[in-house]
Amino acid sequence: MGRWEPNARGRLAEAALDLYSERGFEQTTVAEIARRAGLTERTYFRHYADKREVLFGGSELRDLLVEAVAGAPEGIATLDLLSLGLEAMSTMFDDRRAYARKRQSVIVANAELQERELIKLASLSAVLAETLRGRGVPERSASLSAETGIAVFKVGFERWIADGEDRAMALVMREVLDELTGLAARGGGS
């Protein structure tokens, strides 16, 4: 594969994930990732700041969340805004379950990557809270709602990548959100 071929960013991400799965995160170098993708180290660093960022890079997920929540019609309840945001984020994962499972197995095997995943989730919560405040949701409610929404995303994602699960991610997210609202309605009991 020549350097001039398109989708360098995607090729690097695929190569990194394959190498991390085969050899482990710590044992893989940026040079090996670039070589596997048919690119140079310099090209790698034009797309990603470091070896971890190839698994977490990009703002697509954040952008989908913000656009869905900020662009919703006025008067929509906060819980429904969360649902719209979760549904929008789910579209990013359409037809990517195998990739998501493989990526998650690499992350679970490495404490540094687990920490980076938590940082990414925290940044999603912060931007969601900011977006909710921009819609007039009071500060405390915006923060609680954002943390709740990202917790639903995390639990839903884990369920969606589980062996045997084949439903669309949006359906799994809706199920988790419904489960949470049911718990709240029952006062936390089962």
**The pair of three-digit structure tokens given for residue 33, joined into one six-digit string:** 């990732």
DSSP letter, residue 73: P
Banded model confidence at residue 1, pLDDT cuts 50, 70, 90? very low
Mean pLDDT of the chain: 94
CA angle 108, 42, 47 (to 5 degrees): 50
Neighbours of 127 (CB within 10 A): 18
State residue 104's pLDDT score: 97
Banded pLDDT at 189 (limits 50, 70, 90): low
User: What are 23-33's pLDDT values in tens digits?
Assistant: 999 999 999 99
Residue 171 has pLDDT above 70, yes or no: yes
Q: What is the rounded average pLDDT of the residues 85-107?
A: 96
Could you tell me the pTM of the whole model?
0.90
Distance CA 105, CA 163 (A): 12
For 137-148, what is each residue's pLDDT tens digit? 999 999 999 999
- Tell me which DSSP letter residue 96 carries: -
4 has a pLDDT exceeding 60: no
The residue type found at 62 is R
One DSSP character per residue, 101-148 reads HHHHHHHHT-HHHHHHHHHHHHHHHHHHHHHHHHTT--HHHHHHHHHH
Higher pLDDT, 1 or 153: 153
pLDDT number for residue 188 = 66
Answer for the pair 106, 13: CB distance below 8 angstroms, yes or no: no
Which tens digits make up the pLDDT trace of 52-72?
A: 999 997 899 999 999 999 999
